[in-house]
Amino acid sequence: MTIAGTDSGGGAGIAADLRTFAACGVHGCLAVCAVTVQNSVGVTGVHTIPPATVAAQITSVASDIGLDAAKTGMLAGTEIIEAVAEACDANGIGAGGRTPLVVDPVAASMHGDQLLADSALDAFRDLLFPRATIVTPNLDEVRLLIGLDVHDRAAQYEAAKALHGLGPRYVLVKGGHLAEDVEGCVDLLYDGDSFTELPGPRFDTGNTHGGGDSMAASIASGLARGMSAPEAVAFGKRYIVEAVRHSYPLGQGHGPVSPLWTVRPWWEARPTV
């Protein structure tokens, strides 16, 4: 399940999550937290869903279909974060439950601007991080959450330690915004005892819209398929490298990363019936 907001341009948010779930071989369910007015250039409007309705969507699916993993994206505000935390507890999602929870703390725009009020950042730290199996902040979100500017690998390690102190089982500090890594992109996984670096290529493209959503969704897909957290993160890293490699231009702004590299062109084959 993805618990997040919509993107009317189809590049990020729930659209990206559901495309990723399908590409990774799992069925996707959703709980909509906000509807955005958005295209490739930016967001011009946000309509939030009542918190009780967000929670009811989670419970409705969990009580019937069941959930093998869940991930959060744009949660829009403090009251929705509180409702999501309560719904997770009620339905066995996250710490203490059978369903792993990936928390992507969407708190900054592509340009690093803060998207959430300080009270909502507090709610992420106090309510969702202790319930999370894995948290997946980018470096702008690290700065907003713990006040640390990461400009080198040593600071990336310090950030992982500080974030782990907020309660998640695993922390994945993504390195895509680390401009000093001009030739590569290293994500850093920390479990409280050991670190694992996950290196990957850095592509010369501005078409990375939805990259964070897609990586978190691919990690959740791996967990849903029964992988351990480190295995799911490695699975997600392999997925997002190819999604960025195959990203494409769209509109006048930033195009999306693409799940389409996983799709066999069945329409080119001769029909068998």
In a domain, 109, yes or no: yes
User: What is the C-alpha to C-alpha distance for residues 212 and 22, in angstroms, rounded to an integer?
Assistant: 17
- Contact present, 17 and 11 (Cβ < 8 Å): no
- Contact present, 150 and 142 (Cβ < 8 Å): yes
User: What is the C-alpha to C-alpha distance for residues 41 and 105, in angstroms, rounded to an integer?
Assistant: 22
In a domain, 126, yes or no: yes
Neighbouring residues of 181: CB distance < 8 A, sequence distance ≥ 6: 175, 202
User: What is the C-alpha to C-alpha distance for residues 136 and 153, in angstroms, rounded to an integer?
Assistant: 17
Tens-binned pLDDT, residue by residue, of the chain (273 aa): 999 999 999 999 999 999 999 999 999 999 999 999 989 998 888 999 999 999 999 999 999 999 999 999 999 899 999 999 999 999 999 998 999 999 999 887 665 556 777 888 999 999 999 999 999 999 999 999 999 999 999 999 999 999 999 999 999 999 987 877 767 899 999 999 999 999 999 999 999 999 999 999 999 999 999 999 999 999 999 999 999 999 999 999 999 999 999 998 988 888 777
Residues paired with residue 170 on neighbouring β-strands, in sequence order: 134
In a domain, 269, yes or no: no
Containing structural domain, residue 28: 2-252
- Contact present, 178 and 207 (Cβ < 8 Å): no
In a domain, 261, yes or no: no
In a domain, 17, yes or no: yes
Alpha-carbon Rg for the chain, nearest whole angstrom, is: 18
- Contact present, 162 and 125 (Cβ < 8 Å): no
In a domain, 270, yes or no: no
Q: How many domains does the chain contain in total? A: 1
Mind listing the pLDDT tens digit for each residue in 196-247?
A: 999 999 999 999 999 999 999 999 999 999 999 999 999 999 999 999 999 9
User: pTM of this prediction?
Assistant: 0.95
Place of tokens 């279909």: 65
Domain containing 28 — which CATH number?
3.40.1190.20
In a domain, 267, yes or no: no
Tokens of residue 77, six digits: 């505000």
In a domain, 150, yes or no: yes
User: What is the C-alpha to C-alpha distance for residues 88 and 137, in angstroms, rounded to an integer?
Assistant: 20
User: What is the C-alpha to C-alpha distance for residues 144 and 159, in angstroms, rounded to an integer?
Assistant: 12
Tokens of residue 163, six digits: 């974030």
State whether the Cα torsion 48-168-60-221 is positive or negative. Answer: positive
